[in-house]
Amino acid sequence: MTKIKETSTNFANKKALSDECPEIYASNTIGGQWALAICCYLINGKLRFGELRKKLNNITERMLTLQLRRLEEDRIITRTVYAEVPPRVEYELTEIGYKLKPIILEFEKWGKEHKEIMRDKHSASEPENI
């Protein structure tokens, strides 16, 4: 996960847009493939690193670690370390993180509807075999 240079025009444009538009700010915070997926799984409660890794089977451990750290920095999730051998670490949504639930459910609903429309569009445009 590469960061945009803070001196770049792209960074300045993203920051200005994010400052002006709360929707863009929210999208930048939870946007991206992995952050939203992690939040989707944590909506149902605490999960350990290994459990998240299994659910997100295409993510690398490094990317999962980076995404979890970023979500923790943004106070969307909390990380709890238990003093056990081996150490147990659990991740959970914070109060503000749990407020994503209705938004995530609406995304799910919209995604299903849009998939249906696109499937219907593709099946209507396919030539029929006669």
All domains in the chain, ordered by first residue? 31-124 (1.10.10.10)
pLDDT at 3 over 80: no
Q: Is the pLDDT of residue 15 over 90?
A: no
> Letter for the amino acid at 115?
K
24-79 pLDDT, tens digit per residue, is 888 888 887 899 999 999 999 999 999 999 999 999 999 999 999 999 999 999 99
Grouping H, G, I as helix, E, B as strand and the rest as coil, residue 76 is coil
In Å, how far are 47, 84, 88, 104 from 28, measured between CA atoms? 24, 36, 30, 15
